[in-house]
């Protein structure tokens, strides 16, 4: 298991595509784990214009991804991909730390 966060090349491409349409252009993407959702935690992805000196910064295909220290422990080994299905498209988190998810699949417990 990887001890770090992974963003697939396809997911990185999709984020860069969306970022290119933002004005002003953000510095990168922030990925975090926040309390809430029916299982206790949920993922959050936001564009980031200001960084925090204690953020862990990853670089995927030229895309900067910022993760705060608290979220990092929940995201270790997580792979983020972009999937397109008949039901819709979106970012998919494969997190080895997750013990269970809720029925809607958008929150989890560790």
pLDDT, residue 109, reads: 62
Q: For the whole model, what pTM was predicted? A: 0.84
Q: What residue spans define the domains of the chain? A: 6-99
The domain made up of 6-99 has a fold known as Hypothetical Protein Aq_1857; Chain: A; (2.60.300)
Residue linked to tokens 């936001």: 46
Handedness of CA 104, 32, 8, 50 (dihedral sign): positive
- The tens-digit pLDDT sequence of the chain (110 residues) is 456 899 999 999 999 999 999 999 899 999 999 887 666 788 999 999 988 899 999 999 999 999 999 999 989 999 999 999 888 899 999 988 887 766 555 555 66
């Amino acid at each position: 298991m990887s001890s770090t966060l992974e963003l697939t090349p396809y997911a990185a491409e999709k984020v860069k595509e969306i970022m290119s349409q933002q004005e002003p252009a953000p510095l990168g993407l922030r990925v975090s784990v926040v309390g809430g959702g029916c299982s206790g935690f949920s993922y959050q992805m936001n564009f980031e214009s200001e960084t925090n000196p204690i953020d862990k910064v990853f670089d995927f295909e030229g895309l900067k991804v910022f993760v705060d220290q608290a979220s990092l422990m929940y995201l270790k080994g997580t792979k983020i991909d972009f999937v397109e299905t008949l039901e819709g498209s979106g970012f998919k988190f494969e997190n080895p730390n997750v013990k269970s998810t809720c029925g809607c699949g958008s929150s989890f417990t560790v």
